[in-house]
């Protein structure tokens, strides 16, 4: 992605810590520490006025090196609660940008700034009918997008395959499977009747077309990664959220936040195969509920989030 955008790129060596065996933790910490010197060399060569990171283990040596070089830094926290890396490194950061005011409480007073969740402008200007036309979908048919994140979600894919025929009777389906399972899911679709196959679109991965895939939907079935806090509100798309069981507590908290505000329904991963069709049917049988969820989701959007982060960086860089 960086190469396609013509952005100079330098890799940083790091490793995971949480939930790993002690020897893997030791190796990862050693790689992080070893990377600090290399990052400091990159900083001296690049001469930035500010540093911007988005959390994760790869951010740790960058924040530490930036502090050593006395460069102001901003960590952006997309989730509702900081993970290990952000908890550890935030004390060296100048500011932590967060999506919602409730998240500020996790940091010392004055450290966190609520900016909103930045998303591409395309998420704010997509029209449902135009999005369906670009995906060659019927303009007026009910549509469900099923999205397991950029790398897919195996259990969600299994649930879809197990309910394929019933799903196509209920709605048009846009299914983002992850590249690893795209061929398998497409092979299952081939077992459907020609009429049912015409109502399914399967993609391993989408980048530029992702806003269309989400905007086309009357409802999205998805994991509850951080992007759901920004992209779904930008589009005002109601969601059935299935938090990943191996994603720590972040996805559960993200889902709970949207459910509490009336923007989403939560279904547990263990029962999604059984509950997928009844949950979708219940929503489509109550269009007023879908409309309320859409309005509640859109109320969480902040179209100025990217600009807010830029302005924060500009202030610190002076």
User: Contact 14/64 with Cβ under 8 angstroms?
Assistant: no
Is residue 86 left, alpha or beta, with left meaning phi > 0 and alpha meaning psi from -120 to 50? alpha
Q: pLDDT tens digits, residue range 179-200?
A: 999 999 999 999 999 999 999 9
Residue 248 has a pLDDT of 55
Run of H or E residues at 88: helix 84-89
How high does pLDDT run on average in the chain?
A: 92
Architecture in CATH for domain 22-117+303-317 = 3-Layer(aba) Sandwich (3.40)
User: Contact 199/173 with Cβ under 8 angstroms?
Assistant: yes
Residue 13 has a pLDDT of 77
Q: pLDDT tens digits, residue range 219-262?
A: 999 999 988 999 999 999 999 999 988 755 789 999 999 999 99
DSSP 8-state secondary structure symbol assigned to residue 246 = T
Q: pLDDT tens digits, residue range 71-103?
A: 999 999 998 988 878 888 999 999 999 999 999
Site of tokens 């049912």: 196
pLDDT at position 141 over 90: yes
Q: Alpha-carbon distance 94 to 136, whole Å?
A: 47
Structure tokens at 56: 């994760």
Site of tokens 């740790």: 60
Predicted TM-score (pTM) of this structure: 0.86
Provide the residue ranges of all domains of the chain, joining segments of one domain with +.
Answer: 22-117+303-317, 122-298
Is residue 248 left, alpha or beta, with left meaning phi > 0 and alpha meaning psi from -120 to 50? left
For 71-80, 142-151, 258-267, which range has the lowest pLDDT when averaged over its residues?
142-151
For 20-29, 54-63, 156-165, 228-237, which range has the lowest pLDDT when averaged over its residues?
20-29
pLDDT above 90: percentage of residues in the chain: 77
Residue 129 has a pLDDT of 95
Using CA atoms in the order 224, 213, 100, 223, what is the torsion angle rounded to 10 degrees? 0
Residue 16 has a pLDDT of 66
Question: Which residues are 73's β-sheet partners?
Answer: 51
Do the domains 122-298 and 22-117+303-317 match in fold? Answer: yes
Run of H or E residues at 266: strand 264-266
Measure CA 181 to chain center: 19
Residue 165 has a pLDDT of 96
Architecture in CATH for domain 122-298 = 3-Layer(aba) Sandwich (3.40)
Residues 6 or more apart whose CB falls under 8 angstroms from that of 190 comprise 197
Phi, psi of 266 (to 5 degrees): -105, 135
Q: pLDDT tens digits, residue range 6-42?
A: 998 888 877 666 656 776 767 767 777 788 889 999 9
Closest listed residue to residue 224, CA positions, set 207, 208, 248, 200: 248
Q: Alpha-carbon distance 161 to 185, whole Å?
A: 7
Q: Alpha-carbon distance 173 to 164, whole Å?
A: 9
Residue 149 has a pLDDT of 79
User: Contact 298/35 with Cβ under 8 angstroms?
Assistant: no
Run of H or E residues at 143: strand 143-147
- Tell me the average pLDDT across 169-180: 96
């Amino acid at each position: 992605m960086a190469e396609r955008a013509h952005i100079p790129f330098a890799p940083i060596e790091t490793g995971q810590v949480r939930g790993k065996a002690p020897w893997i933790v030791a190796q990862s910490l050693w790689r992080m520490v070893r990377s600090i010197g290399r990052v400091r060399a990159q900083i001296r060569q690049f001469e930035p006025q500010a540093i911007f990171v988005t959390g994760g283990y790869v951010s740790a040596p960058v924040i530490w090196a930036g502090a050593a070089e006395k460069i102001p830094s901003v960590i952006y926290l997309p989730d509702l609660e900081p993970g290990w890396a952000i908890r550890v490194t935030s004390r060296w950061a100048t500011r932590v940008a967060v999506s919602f005011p409730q998240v500020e409480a996790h940091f010392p007073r004055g450290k966190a700034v609520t900016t909103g969740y930045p998303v591409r402008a395309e998420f704010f200007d997509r029209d449902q009918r135009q999005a369906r036309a670009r995906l060659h979908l019927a303009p007026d048919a009910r549509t469900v997008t099923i999205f397991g994140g950029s790398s897919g979600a195996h259990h969600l894919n299994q649930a879809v395959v197990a309910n394929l025929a019933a799903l196509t009777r209920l709605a048009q389906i846009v299914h983002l499977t992850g590249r690893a399972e795209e061929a398998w899911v497409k092979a299952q679709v081939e077992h459907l009747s020609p009429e049912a196959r015409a109502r399914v679109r399967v993609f391993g991965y989408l980048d530029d077309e992702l806003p269309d895939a989400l905007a086309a939907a009357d409802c999205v079935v998805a994991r509850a990664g951080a992007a759901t806090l920004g992209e779904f509100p930008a589009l005002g798309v109601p969601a059935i959220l299935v938090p990943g069981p191996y994603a720590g507590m972040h996805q559960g908290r993200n889902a709970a936040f949207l459910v509490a505000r009336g923007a989403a329904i939560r279904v547990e991963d263990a029962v999604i195969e059984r509950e997928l069709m009844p949950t979708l049917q219940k929503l489509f049988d109550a269009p007023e509920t879908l409309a309320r969820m859409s309005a509640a989701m859109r109320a969480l959007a902040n179209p100025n989030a990217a600009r807010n982060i830029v302005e924060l960086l500009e202030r610190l860089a002076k």
